[in-house]
Amino acid sequence: MEQNNTNQSRCITLNNKVTSSKNISKSFFLGLTLLVLGQNVAQAQLVATGQIRERTEARGGQGTLLSNGKKGALFTSQRTRLNVGFSGYRYKVYASLQDVRVWGQDASTINRTTTEANDGIMFHEAWGEVFLNDTISTIQNLSLKIGRQEISYDDQKVLGGLDWLQQGRRHDAIILKFANKGWIADFGVAFNQNKELASGTIYNGLPSATAGYTAGTNGIAHEYKSFQYAYLGRKFFFGDVSFLFFKDDFSKFTGTAAAPTFTQGVNARTTTGFYYNVMPNRKLNLTGSLYYQGGHDKFGTSISAKLASITATYQVNRKFFIGPGVDFVSGNDGTTTATQNNRFDPLYGTPHKFWGTMDYFYVASPFGSQGLLNYFIKTKYNASDKFTLLLDIHGFESANKLPGNLSKYLGTEFDLTARYNFTKLINIEGGYSLMNATQTMASTSVKNVTNPKLTAQWAYISLKISPNFLATKKI
């Protein structure tokens, strides 16, 4: 009987028809919600969602080639998230509590992780946003967003949430956000420290090294000490165009990158460029970007690097889409000695989306400094409203010459993905990838694998459930 009363109280609370303080006291969480809502019920909204994403992977050369004699891996990982967001008059707050684990990582008979360094509980996001303008202002939106948050723009090639990784990617930052009549302008800053200090601002740049994770892309290893960026975007009738300036700073150090001694000062790297996503007609879509990277790398060497990309997608009919594309990511010439670094680093984007789902390039497993030329064709078939098939074919080669007269061709990858939505909240996805690599891929200049298996495979199946626990409407 008491349980029934509690459920009735929850129902009444969600419909903002609370009639008894006794019922409110039975649900502290919803009682607190009412208290906050009472500040300004005309503007308030509370949303609580979650996510369970389980993914089983069979790896037989994912990320890098296996040596002959080595067997493939099989495991299941799980991401669990609880998200709570609340919006009131001129503010929003949001928190996403996340736990990432591999099945079997923890012993089943104790209440703590077997390896503390692998403890996956953390806040993926925790931020507050304050609107600096009143709702009657002619400016649509002017706000300040502060805290741990995802930073994602455009196609996520250089800045993205990296959702494919179970842990994702987030930043501790402050962003001033402006939007008005199709224009978007964001200005962001971050400044990292390892802990509270009595003096000095030296940052060791390796905050997660003890947990076995490397920060950044393509084995950059060192976490940035700070960044500053400006993003400007505009929506036109024919599509979207944007401009990005991003500067990230890395702590100076002495010694080697593997065993550094960090000192005062930073090496600053800048990335500048633009992105476009336009439709010349209703069946053809063109997406592209062009970026230049300058400044200095983490070693203090000057940088002059480029990224250029273009993808065309043609809608053959209502269900079938197809299109070619090419990415050029500059690198260093392996046959000459240069005092300048020409290797472009794609910042904090989503490599899994662009350079093959087997993640051979611009991820934790490095592949040398020669850059990449990726030419591909992508297809998509919407078999029904619930079922989608995708097939991508990539040809990879070095963007520059390699030592020893090695061929520039690295390999061909085939990526097949199938997605089925049981409901809007339940999704199952599976994929199979095949890499036919060359000896160049296995060479010391690229993946550095001795006695390699030149045919690599990878398969996965993933189930995602994203429930909505609570959603109060604006009243």
Q: Give the class (CATH, top level) of 55-79+115-465.
A: mainly beta
CB 190 within 8 A of CB 170: no
Poorest-pLDDT segment among 32-46, 122-136, 152-166, 373-387:
32-46
Measured distance CA(361)–CA(217) in Å, rounded: 9
Residue ranges, CATH 2.40.160.100, the chain: 55-79+115-465
Measured distance CA(289)–CA(233) in Å, rounded: 13
> CA angle at residue 292 from 288 to 296, to 5 degrees?
150
Torsion angles phi and psi, residue 251, rounded to 5: -60, 135
pLDDT tens digits for 172-195? 999 999 999 889 999 999 999 989
Neighbours of 423 (CB within 10 A): 9
Residue 153 has which token pair? 């723009």
Give 3-state DSSP helix, strand, coil % of the chain, rounded to 5.
10, 50, 40
| Cα torsion through 207, 212, 216, 222, rounded to 10 | 50
Q: Are strands 171-180 and 141-149 parallel, antiparallel or unpaired?
A: antiparallel
CB 180 within 8 A of CB 141: yes
Question: Tokens 């199946």 — which residue?
Answer: 461
Measured distance CA(260)–CA(238) in Å, rounded: 50
Element (H, E) at 181: none
pLDDT tens digits for 309-358? 999 999 999 999 999 999 999 999 987 777 899 999 999 999 999 999 99
Please give the share of the chain, as a percent, with pLDDT higher than 70. Answer: 83
Average pLDDT, the chain: 87
CB 78 within 8 A of CB 105: no
* Residues near 201 by beta carbon (within 8 Å), at least 6 away in sequence: 193, 264
Beta strands in 296-347 (DSSP E): 305-315, 320-329
Q: What pLDDT, on the 0 to 100 scale, is given for residue 11?
A: 40
Measured distance CA(246)–CA(248) in Å, rounded: 7
Average pLDDT over residues 63-70: 95
CB 128 within 8 A of CB 174: no
pTM (two decimals): 0.86
pLDDT tens digits for 263-290? 999 999 999 999 999 999 999 999 999 9
